[in-house]
Amino acid sequence: MGSPPAGRRSRGAPALTKHTESSPWTGSSKAVVVIPARWASTRLPGKSLVPLCGKPLIAWVIERARQARGIADTIVATDDDRIRHAASAAGARVVMTRPDHPSGTDRVAEASSDTDADVVINVQGDEPLINPRLIERLAAVWETEPDWDMATAAAPIQTEEELLNPSVVKVVFDGVGRALYFSRAPIPYVRDRRPDELRHWRHIGIYAYRRPFLQRLVAAPPVLLEKAEQLEQLRALHWGGRIKVLQEQAAAGVAVDTPEDVARAEEALRRAGLAPS
């Protein structure tokens, strides 16, 4: 991605945090949801339009996001006209983005660059059961804790299989909820006897950003830990970003990444009473 963003030194601590942003936080926030959606998914091409219980996947995500109270706008960021038509029909505003973005975060940053939003919430386009209340909680973080650069969420890991699965990202955080590290490995490692009160936490892939921080983050080059784990949020930690982790007690939703996930998602929608059985 080239040289560091404006204001960052090439050595030492970078300038990504709130102290370098041009405008101070006012204590009130305008939040928008941005849903990145592309056609060229590796494991399930065109998954945004895969029908779930008679409705495209992207329509389910939009519907859930629009149920969140206090959100100023719901935007779909895409480079595909087929997705644009489906998203518009589902009630979202669509921003057409460049086709060469390396990640969904970059697509979200482009789509939100011209808004006047204070907070940008990146809702994954493959989560048909995203909880609207979680979106509300993320949007509200800055009302009482204005020093955070980002916010995300985590839920307790329930099984040993989840803990050992590298596809399940784990997170550890401190006493005020500040993320310390994200990993595909089981963290924290239990050397001897596991303390009774210890919980392992599964990261939920939803992010809220202060918009200036998001723009600086995507301009920053990838870092070694990010490349090793293939986790973009490690870039934010590397450059000193403060990430708030909200604790959710409910299990994470169902993501549609493969053809096999379609049936699981449809069953989950029926169990939740969102689709006829």
Contact 4, 11 (CB under 8 A): no
* Residue 250 to residues 70, 136, 153, 202, 246, Cα–Cα distance (Å): 22, 15, 11, 11, 12
Contact 107, 101 (CB under 8 A): yes
Q: Indicate the SS3 state at residue 268.
A: helix
Render pLDDT for 3-25 as a digit per residue (tens, 0 to 9): 344 333 334 444 565 433 433 34
Residue 184 lies in a domain: yes
Q: Which two tokens stand for residue 16?
A: 């990504």
Query: What distance in Å separates the CA atoms of residue 117 and residue 255, rounded to the nearest whole number?
Result: 27
Render pLDDT for 82-123 as a digit per residue (tens, 0 to 9): 999 999 999 999 999 999 998 999 999 999 999 999 999 999
Q: What is the pLDDT of residue 15?
A: 52
Render pLDDT for 161-179 as a digit per residue (tens, 0 to 9): 999 999 899 999 999 999 9
Q: Which of 153, 134, 151 is nearest to 209 (CA)?
A: 151
Residue 22 lies in a domain: no
* Residue 26 to residues 23, 55, 123, 211, Cα–Cα distance (Å): 9, 40, 25, 14
Q: What is the pLDDT of residue 28?
A: 66
Share above pLDDT 90 across residues of the chain, in percent, rounded to a whole number: 82
Could you give the angle at which helices 57-66 and 132-144 cross, rounded to 10 degrees?
Answer: 40
Domain that holds residue 153: 28-259
Residue 40 lies in a domain: yes
H or E element, residue 35: strand 31-37
Residue 276 lies in a domain: no
In this prediction the pTM is 0.89
Residue 15 lies in a domain: no
Residue 17 lies in a domain: no
- Beta bridge partners of residue 55, listed in sequence order: 52
What's the number of domains the chain is made of? Answer: 1
Residue 4 lies in a domain: no
What CATH number did the domain enclosing 75 receive?
3.90.550.10
Residue 16 lies in a domain: no
Query: What distance in Å separates the CA atoms of residue 246 and residue 148, rounded to the nearest whole number?
Result: 12
